């Protein structure tokens, strides 16, 4: 397991494309980066900041600093290790985790990451969802709107449920919830609909955009975020709008800017119902 930067991924992409294009006759190639560089993303409930592995932690690991053993004892290290193991079993070379793949000390990188998040989850080969409070399949199936895993209560995980084309649920011990290749299918676990209010059809057919605003706002209404502005920022990708990130502006101002962006994007009349 190694933390790599954008330059490494770009080099891998160039080599993959060049290898694909080496042929003795002319042909048309439908170029899509995600067809050449497959990656997995993790959707999870964060532990405390102290228990998660950061970009700085990985930097110390790569430089061989003496204190690397300390962060290997963090709960987040085991989570990343198991996630990478699952990606490897699926023959996926790259794995992306928000805790250690975003340098939050850089406001520019944080801004870009938040604006790009929906697209990153959309283009992933698979999104793995860790239900850290769910220990058995029976416990999962018994969950409902009032009693469920914390993952279903967080603001950012709404787009992480809607965006991916391929989704796999894992229990707390990283056992697969189902034996299906993709849990986002016509046979998706029914408890997902029962908890979220999102029908299987809506889940499968979801496209981002400034439509069905009232319905989509209802999906997000009871969710929570650590930073109050994230209630608005986490919905940008769902409505396919973009706005600057300004932590400290407060929840009301951030939400007003979100609604303004949705209206300017050509929202349907449902925005008036909210």
The string of pLDDT tens digits covering residues 208-266 is 999 999 999 999 999 999 999 999 999 999 999 999 999 999 999 999 999 999 999 99
Distance of alpha carbon 211 from alpha carbon 239, whole angstroms: 7
Report, as an integer, the average pLDDT of 167-176: 98
Locate 115 and state its tokens. Answer: 């604006």
Strands 39-43 and 94-96: parallel
> pTM of the entire structure?
0.88
- Contacts of 184 by beta carbon, 8 Å cutoff, 6+ apart: 164, 165, 166, 167, 203, 204
Task: State the DSSP code for 271.
Answer: G
Locate 55 and state its tokens. Answer: 């970009």
Distance of alpha carbon 222 from alpha carbon 153, whole angstroms: 7
The SS3 call for residue 133 is coil
Distance of alpha carbon 208 from alpha carbon 162, whole angstroms: 9
Distance of alpha carbon 51 from alpha carbon 61, whole angstroms: 16
Query: In the chain, where are the structural domains located?
Result: 1-9+37-206, 208-274
Burial of 60 (0-12, 13-18, 19+ CB in 10 A): middle
Distance of alpha carbon 44 from alpha carbon 151, whole angstroms: 7
The string of pLDDT tens digits covering residues 101-144 is 999 999 999 999 999 999 999 999 999 999 999 999 999 999 99
Could you give the strand order of the β-sheet that contains 126-130, starting from the edge strand earlier in sequence?
94-96, 39-43, 126-130, 167-170
Report, as an integer, the average pLDDT of 24-41: 63
Give the pLDDT band (50/70/90) at residue 61: confident
Task: Answer yes or no: are the C-beta atoms of 223 and 155 closer than 8 Å.
Answer: yes
According to DSSP, the residues that pair with 82 across neighbouring strands are none
């Amino acid at each position: 397991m190694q933390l790599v930067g954008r330059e490494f991924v770009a080099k891998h992409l160039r080599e993959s494309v060049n290898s694909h294009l080496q042929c003795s006759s002319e042909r048309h190639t439908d170029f899509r980066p995600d067809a050449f560089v497959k990656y997995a993303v993790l959707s999870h409930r964060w532990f405390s900041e102290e228990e998660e592995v950061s970009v700085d932690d990985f930097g110390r690991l790569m430089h061989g600093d003496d204190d690397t053993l300390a962060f290997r004892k963090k709960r987040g290290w085991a989570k990343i290790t198991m996630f990478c193991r699952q990606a490897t079993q699926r023959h996926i070379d790259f794995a992306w985790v928000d805790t250690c793949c975003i340098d939050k000390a850089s406001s520019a990188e944080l801004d870009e990451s938040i604006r790009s998040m929906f697209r990153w989850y959309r283009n992933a080969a698979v999104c793995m969802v860790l239900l850290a409070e769910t220990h058995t399949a029976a416990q999962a199936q018994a969950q409902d709107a009032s009693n469920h895993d914390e993952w279903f209560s967080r603001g950012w995980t709404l787009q992480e449920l809607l965006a991916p084309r391929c989704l796999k649920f894992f229990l707390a011990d990283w056992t697969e919830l189902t034996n299906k290749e993709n849990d986002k299918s016509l046979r998706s676990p029914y408890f997902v609909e029962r908890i979220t209010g999102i029908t299987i059809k809506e889940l499968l057919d979801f496209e981002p955009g400034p439509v069905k605003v009232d319905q989509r706002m209802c999906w997000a209404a009871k969710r929570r975020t650590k930073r109050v502005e994230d209630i608005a920022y986490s919905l940008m990708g769902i409505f396919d709008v973009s706005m600057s990130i300004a932590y400290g502006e407060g929840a009301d101002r951030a939400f007003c800017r979100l609604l303004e962006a949705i209206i300017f994007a050509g929202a349907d009349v449902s925005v008036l119902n909210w």
